[in-house]
Chain A
């Protein structure tokens, strides 16, 4: 089955700096890679996703890059703000998987003033 690894597990940055979180996946058939932000005591919120037919996607301060050959994808947050502090999860799914998502282990991002 699919295995998704995520690094780092914790990340502290100064406000205004950039943050990068990386994930690798094992199943080369995976073609959908969403990123979720989870605040304490709440459900995960989709912040951006990418499909295997593109290599990069950007939405304001958030971007995701995908390298299919290396089977890794990354989340980039620029101009970080304190409200970006949360746990971020990457995930992967593949066609025929019935929309099942396999999640990474999560990254606790802390944006310090």
Chain B
């Protein structure tokens, strides 16, 4: 299957600072990538759709000025959590659809654990 990587795998930051998380499709190109947030023992909640070369589309209730998304190339999307606060501590996961046999299959990255002190 296709491979999606994330960096860093975990990060600890102080309240008020910004953190950037990278999502890369390693062996395929992705015009669209998705960013999810997952709290302990809960399901994945879609935050936004990252579109290569254009603005991201945010889900209802997600602050676009707080969660900045940039999809500058067909293999890289970044999520920047600005002015992070303890309530932003979570597991952030990206995914990208890869075309196989004329249909799209979503592959997920390994996730980034963010802890805001």
Which residues of A does B touch, CB under 8 Å? Answer: 32, 34, 36, 41-46, 49, 51, 89, 98-101, 103-106
Contact = CB atoms under 8 A, between A and B. Distances in A.
Interface stretch (B11-19, B43-51, B61-69): B43-51
Interface of B: 1, 4, 6, 32, 34, 42-44, 46, 49, 91, 93, 95, 97, 103-111, 113
A38 to B, nearest CB: 9
B94 to A, nearest CB: 8
A45 B103 contact: no
Contacts of A98: 32, 49
A9 B42 CA distance: 11
Contact of B107 (A32, A46, A104, A105): A46
A18 to B, nearest CB: 24
Contact of B111 (A34, A43, A99, A101): A43
Interface of B is mostly: strand
A34 B93 contact: no
Contact of A103 (B43, B104, B110, B113): B43
Indicate the member of A32, A89, A99, A100 with the most B CB atoms within 10 Å: A99
Contact of A104 (B6, B32, B43): B43
Nearest to A31: B103
A42 B43 contact: no
Given A99-B97, A105-B42, 8 more contacts: A32-B103, A41-B111, A42-B110, A43-B108, A100-B49, A101-B34, A101-B46, A103-B44
A32 B110 CA distance: 23
B43 A49 contact: no
Contacts of B91: 41
Contacts of B113: 41
A36 B108 CA distance: 10
